[in-house]
Amino acid sequence: MHHSDRGVQYLSIRYTERLEEERAVGSVGSKGDSYGNALAETISGLYKSELIYNEHEGPWRTVEDVELSTLGWVHWWNHERLLEPIGYVPPAEFEAHWREEVENGTLSSAVSPESETGGTNHPGNETLGEHQLAGVSS
């Protein structure tokens, strides 16, 4: 999914064709409200509370400290964070499995990256019971 505000560049033919090539869904907010930005604002808020304003991570001495820690947080967010709605697997693993099914023509219509509806775990909460991992391939 790619989200933007309502700039005309995001409604262009080239942009739409590129989204189709990637089998991505465009997300453009409604004019005059903040609903289209809700996901981006939520992630931004989590980033700030989990990393930037976290008293165990700071104090930040340089911009480079923040940049390096941000890279680590983004890696954790995509590759280690377990997400309940997609079967307690990291988003990158779910997407890789989805892409493999698309390429093999075995994709179930009920499962797609767009079906993700939320539910995050935070660093340090990666331990799950076996009953939560039932049916999840590694």
Q: Tell me, letter by letter, the H, E, C secondary structure of 30-75.
A: CCCCCHHHHHHHHHHHHHHHHHHCCCCCCCCCCHHHHHHHHHHHHH
Average pLDDT, the chain: 74
pLDDT digits (tens, 9 = 90+) for 8-44: 555 678 878 888 888 887 766 566 565 657 777 888 8
What pLDDT does 69 receive? 94
Q: Are 51 and 70 in contact (CB under 8 A)?
A: yes
% of the chain residues with pLDDT over 70 = 62
pLDDT at site 17: 85
**What's the full length of the chain, in residues?**
138
| Across 6-10, 45-49, 82-86, least confident range | 6-10
What pLDDT score was predicted for residue 117?
44
What residue segments make up the domains of the chain, in order of their start? 80-138
Write down the pTM of the prediction: 0.54
Give the integer Cα–Cα distance in Å for 41 and 54. 18
Provide mean pLDDT across the span 93-104: 93
